[in-house]
Structure 1
Amino acid sequence: MPTARHAKQALSRRQLLVRSAATVALAGLGGLAKPYLSRAADRPLITSGIASGDASANSAVIWARADRPARMQVECSTVESFRTIIRTASARALPDSDFTSKLLLEGLPPGKDIFYRVRFEDIADAGISGEAQVGHFRTAPLVQQSVSFVWSGDTAGQGWGIDPGRGGMRTYATMRENRPDFFIHCGDHIYADCPIEAELKLPDGSLWRNLVTEDKSVVAKTIAQFRGNYKYNLLDENLRAFNAEVPMLAQWDDHEVTNDWSPIGTADETGYTEDGTSRLVARAARAFHEFMPIRELPAQAGRIYRKISYGPLLDVFLLDMRSYRDSTWNRHGDGNDACILGSIQLAWLKRELAASDVTWKVIAADMPIGLVSEDGIALGDGPPDRRECEIADLLSHMKRAGIRNTVWLTADMHYTAAHRYDPNRAVFQEFEAFWEFVSGPLHAGTWAPAPLDNTFGPAVAFQKGCSAEQGENLAPCFGLQFFGRVDIDGESEVMTVTLKDVDNRDLWSVDIEPRPDARPARILSQQF
């Protein structure tokens, strides 16, 4: 249940959205999108809203995009009136980054609502600046208190883009109504390989009418087209309002590049660089980092896997199951070495999990563990093989090290589910029982549930997707769009996971009590 703090926070954030509704410019998004007409044409504009990300106890990333070369100016305050400014910072928005700009705000007070104000100044004349937009995030606490967050994935897939007549990307509006402390996007922010057409016919004969842009009308190959995919999504007012209100923890999966991509073996006609890197992947990665409010890690530029600490109750471990995987299909009998995390990331995860002294350790994964897929991890019934071996190694390490209270969150499958992994049902048994929760899509086609294998003993506690009668790739307007919500109580430390739909209905929930020892967390209750 929401705490009094969350109720008070919800009121403040609602006021924020009313008082600081974003002025949105659509310039530079293709000839088919109507441009924003400014009365002060010489002033740089914010084109795609503002966003924050990777919020910790004393810092957060701020992001925005200008319509020309400019300097982003950011002010932040702990009061909505900005009566007192506690931090200022600036960064350039230049053509090399498609006029996107992001910076790390540091030295912030922990456990506080932070209001930030963004405007762009002319790159040559600081006296010329555009209109400001206001956003909000909350820094992580240093003391034990309740935490709430949401997660999902899969946006603008299978040709289902922004239909303004159907309310646009409605799941973002629903998630915003939940007033979470932050949002984990588990990947497929865009579908670079799925062009958006003007109209799609629905089963009842009616039409889905997409907003279209030039760059989103083709499969992305150039850096401009990859960037255009992100700019297309930011045409949606629900997404812009959500970004201004809720900090994001961003991962990626395959459709940020192309379907089922791997580091080697994925390229277009431009091929590979001298070091064997795919030029297509490099362009996609560049656009991802330009448009995501993600921390830059100086030691490993472009790295996506990382840990975000959110107070004494929670650490979030964000994985990258794309950049370090093997480059073959995941099939039994293939003698090649196989991996999904890679040795360096796997060693990092083991080390960071062992070092974590918080109550709950959430592992945010691109893909689920036990759903059979040639592109994923699970191969079908039997002992661990190929990519499953890395997971077996990780799970057995967690048991030996006494790493307790872990929960896996993921998306990718275009339906929602709760899976309980139990060694008593498993072929491989050297691990402690744990939960895996799947949710999505945010705004894409919905699919039917997939089969599980018995390698790690998963069982379905709940699942919901499209039925055989509805068919595959069910349009978002049929209501089967999903996200998950996690609440951790500040006093009892109980974690409540709730699977929800686009209309904010609670589909299923479970209360999980943490354990002070290495035994698995105890299930207190489940609700349908």
Structure 2
Amino acid sequence: MTTDRSLTRRTLLRAGGLGAGAAAAALALPEVALARTSRPVLTHGVQTGDVTTDGALLWTRADRPARMLVEVAPDPTFRHARRLRGPVLTPATDGTGRLRLDHLPPGREVHYRVVAEDLDGRGRSEPLVGSFRTAPVGRAGARFTWSGDVAGQGWGINPDMGGMTAYRAMLARRPDFFLHSGDTVYADNPLVESVTLPDGRVWRNLVTPAKTKVAETLDEYRGQFAYNLLDENVRAFAARVPSVVQWDDHEVVNNWYPGEILDLPQYTEKRVDVLAARALRAFHEWQPIDRHRSVDGRIYRGFRYGRHLEVFVLDMRSYKDANTSPRDQPGVVLGARQARWLVDGLSRSTATWKIVAADLPIGLTVPDGTAIEGVANGLPGAPGGREHELAGVLRTLARRRVRNVVWVTADVHYTAAHHYSPDRATFADFDPFWEFVSGPLHAGAFGPNTLDPTFGPEAVFVHAPPRANLSPLEGFQHFGEIDIDGPTGELTVHLRDGRGEALWSRTLVPSR
């Protein structure tokens, strides 16, 4: 099952002209096979996701048909390990597989060790290890990071700068989990081996065959997700921090919506619904997402994390109307079922803080040519287009007196803190709330976007580049961090740059 997603000697030589030994050292990929070996190889590390009070979903990938075997222990010595027999990793899932770890104590550090065993039992891979913390119960505190937008606009893994270093900065913050707010890959952004920057410096990309064209086939979409895991920073982070993953547009194609027919010459397959189905399959194969927790078996789902925190993960891509739909008439971005699930879940939640993980910002105008890609329609006055559906959500939450709702998102490739208030709004039937934006994690930097006045947003803080598509070398990579204090329930948000330095912070006191 070794495919073009495994590094070859030729691919390493293409990494910015580096020799094979230097490139391998720069990328630190001892587990990626340069040639077929006599025993299985776990090619892309290990990941956990969708953590709960009693466990998490564990993911890995092997280079050939093999059995996934797992040891779980309360400490890194594995002296009292529990041994679990996982699935057979086969070509049907591109060699990927996952195992739900359960029956674990809440709020505890868990260590795991994974190997792949030949189907005849004669050979085993080198083990890979990792750890995570199960979700707590009671008044324990919580810390998580969030961001989005990885390997976009032509900026891939650059060995010269140490790869995707924002992941290293996030790991240093020791979060309990990571909320990946979409654009987890850029399936529509091919990479070239080098890019000359305006000041004459040369950006060098590691390039794999799957990243040389736009993704259209299932195998090409799989290659998009495999690419990011070639970075040692990404793999180290994934082994220690469980993820909660959602998607946006670039997992498929820029600004897509259901039913769209592309007119782009680089695509042979023009039907977005066909491309989206292939991308969704690759997404579920390569991400540690528990499909059984998704309400519709796709993306949107919720997680409780102790007394103080509940997270509601949205899918604002699969059910949206066309970008060309009338901007002044009611539109759709969630769909009736998901919107009802969201307001009902928020209404029932007893958590101090309810975090809505949105893959699109609410009040920023995001155009798609002359059409509208995002929620805000860019028009003054009463809600129109997709704003109409969000107005219904906000109105219902206000009438049900749902307090302490905070929205987090990425998408627009800069970081900002937005406060929404009916005192400034055209539509005033809602309670004030905050929306925090943070990205990109490793992509071109853009912004800022124009604020739409419908819901009365105020940009309290903005950190955006002076011009479009600045590379990750220029200091405009971002991630956000939310830290909830256990004893008081106070929530502190930090908007950080790609090195982990706090650019802006604010502590919110919960309403009772």
Counterpart among 471, 474, 479 of residue 475 in structure 2: 479
Q: Secondary structure at the match of 1:43?
A: coil
Alpha-carbon separation, structure 1, partners of 2:83 and 2:486:
29
Letter in 1 for 2:392: D
Letter in 2 for 1:371: L
Counterpart among 373, 377, 380 of residue 379 in structure 1: 377
Alpha-carbon separation, structure 1, partners of 2:322 and 2:217:
23
Q: Confirm whether residue 490 of structure 1 aligns to residue 494 of structure 2.
A: no
Say if 1:115 and 1:53 are closer, same or farther in 2 by CA, change over 3 A.
same
Q: Post-superposition shift, 1:497?
A: 0.2
Q: Post-superposition shift, 1:73?
A: 0.9
Letter in 1 for 2:124: S
Letter in 2 for 1:359: T
State whether residues 138 and 181 of structure 1, in contact with CA within 8 Å, keep that contact through their aligned partners in structure 2.
yes
Letter in 2 for 1:72: M
Structure 1 match to 2:231: 236
State whether residues 308 and 351 of structure 2, in contact with CA within 8 Å, keep that contact through their aligned partners in structure 1.
yes
Q: Post-superposition shift, 1:377?
A: 0.6
The correspondence of residues 418-497 of structure 1 with structure 2, limited to 5 A, is 418-467=417-466, 471-497=467-493
Q: Post-superposition shift, 1:297?
A: 1.9
Structure 1 match to 2:335: 342
Q: Post-superposition shift, 1:26?
A: 9.2
Letter in 1 for 2:357: A
Alpha-carbon separation, structure 2, partners of 1:198 and 1:249:
31
Q: Secondary structure at the match of 1:61?
A: strand
Structure 2 match to 1:521: none
Structure 1 match to 2:89: 93
Alpha-carbon separation, structure 2, partners of 1:107 and 1:345:
30
Per-residue CA distance 1:47-104 (angstroms, 9 max, x = gap) = 0111000001012000011111111111111111111124524112110111011121
Per-residue CA distance 1:475-494 (angstroms, 9 max, x = gap) = 00111100001100000110
Alpha-carbon separation, structure 1, partners of 2:169 and 2:277:
34
Counterpart among 213, 218, 225 of residue 220 in structure 2: 225
Letter in 2 for 1:377: V
Gaps of 5+ in 2: 13-28, 367-371
Alpha-carbon separation, structure 2, partners of 1:350 and 1:183:
24
Structure 1 match to 2:353: 360
Letter in 2 for 1:429: A
Alpha-carbon separation, structure 2, partners of 1:300 and 1:31:
43
State whether residues 210 and 220 of structure 2, in contact with CA within 8 Å, keep that contact through their aligned partners in structure 1.
yes
Structure 2 match to 1:83: 79
Per-residue CA distance 1:366-404 (angstroms, 9 max, x = gap) = 010000121001012221001001110000100111111
Counterpart among 131, 137, 152 of residue 126 in structure 2: 131
Alpha-carbon separation, structure 2, partners of 1:445 and 1:46:
31
Structure 2 match to 1:143: 138
Alpha-carbon separation, structure 2, partners of 1:213 and 1:31:
11
Per-residue CA distance 1:301-338 (angstroms, 9 max, x = gap) = 641000011111100000000001112336534x5x52
Structure 2 match to 1:159: 154
Percentage of pairs with the same residue: 47
Say if 1:345 and 1:50 are closer, same or farther in 2 by CA, change over 3 A.
same
Alpha-carbon separation, structure 1, partners of 2:313 and 2:300:
5
Q: Secondary structure at the match of 1:429?
A: coil
Q: Post-superposition shift, 1:231?
A: 1.1
Q: Post-superposition shift, 1:354?
A: 1.2
Under a length normalisation based on structure 1, what TM-score does the superposition of the two structures give? 0.88
Tell me the matched-pair count: 482
Q: Secondary structure at the match of 1:286?
A: helix
Alpha-carbon separation, structure 1, partners of 2:361 and 2:214:
27
State whether residues 5 and 226 of structure 2, in contact with CA within 8 Å, keep that contact through their aligned partners in structure 1.
no
Per-residue CA distance 1:401-454 (angstroms, 9 max, x = gap) = 111101000000000000000010000111110000000000000012111011
Alpha-carbon separation, structure 1, partners of 2:141 and 2:390:
31
Alpha-carbon separation, structure 1, partners of 2:436 and 2:10:
39
Q: Post-superposition shift, 1:503?
A: 1.7
Structure 2 match to 1:195: 190
Q: Confirm whether residue 59 of structure 1 aligns to residue 59 of structure 2.
A: no
Per-residue CA distance 1:8-31 (angstroms, 9 max, x = gap) = xxxxxxxxxxxxxxxxx9963467
Q: Post-superposition shift, 1:37?
A: 4.7
Alpha-carbon separation, structure 1, partners of 2:200 and 2:269:
41
Alpha-carbon separation, structure 2, partners of 1:372 and 1:39:
49
Stretch deviating more after TM superposition (402-411 or 347-356) = 347-356
Letter in 1 for 2:506: V
Stretch deviating more after TM superposition (320-329 or 304-313) = 320-329
Letter in 1 for 2:112: Y
Alpha-carbon separation, structure 2, partners of 1:475 and 1:206:
11
State whether residues 187 and 253 of structure 1, in contact with CA within 8 Å, keep that contact through their aligned partners in structure 2.
yes
Q: Post-superposition shift, 1:126?
A: 2.1
Alpha-carbon separation, structure 2, partners of 1:51 and 1:413:
26
Under a length normalisation based on structure 2, what TM-score does the superposition of the two structures give? 0.91
Per-residue CA distance 1:204-244 (angstroms, 9 max, x = gap) = 11100101111101111111111111111111110000000
Q: Post-superposition shift, 1:32?
A: 4.3
Letter in 2 for 1:485: E
Alpha-carbon separation, structure 2, partners of 1:119 and 1:386:
51
Alpha-carbon separation, structure 2, partners of 1:249 and 1:302:
15
Q: Post-superposition shift, 1:251?
A: 0.3
Structure 1 match to 2:180: 185
Q: Secondary structure at the match of 1:346?
A: helix
Say if 1:234 and 1:431 are closer, same or farther in 2 by CA, change over 3 A.
same
Alpha-carbon separation, structure 2, partners of 1:359 and 1:318:
17
Q: Secondary structure at the match of 1:424?
A: coil
Say if 1:37 and 1:320 are closer, same or farther in 2 by CA, change over 3 A.
closer
State whether residues 30 and 215 of structure 1, in contact with CA within 8 Å, keep that contact through their aligned partners in structure 2.
no
Structure 1 match to 2:110: 114
Alpha-carbon separation, structure 2, partners of 1:514 and 1:156:
37
Counterpart among 257, 280, 284 of residue 279 in structure 2: 284
Question: What is the Cα-based RMSD across aligned positions, in Å?
Answer: 1.9
Letter in 2 for 1:61: L
Letter in 1 for 2:498: V
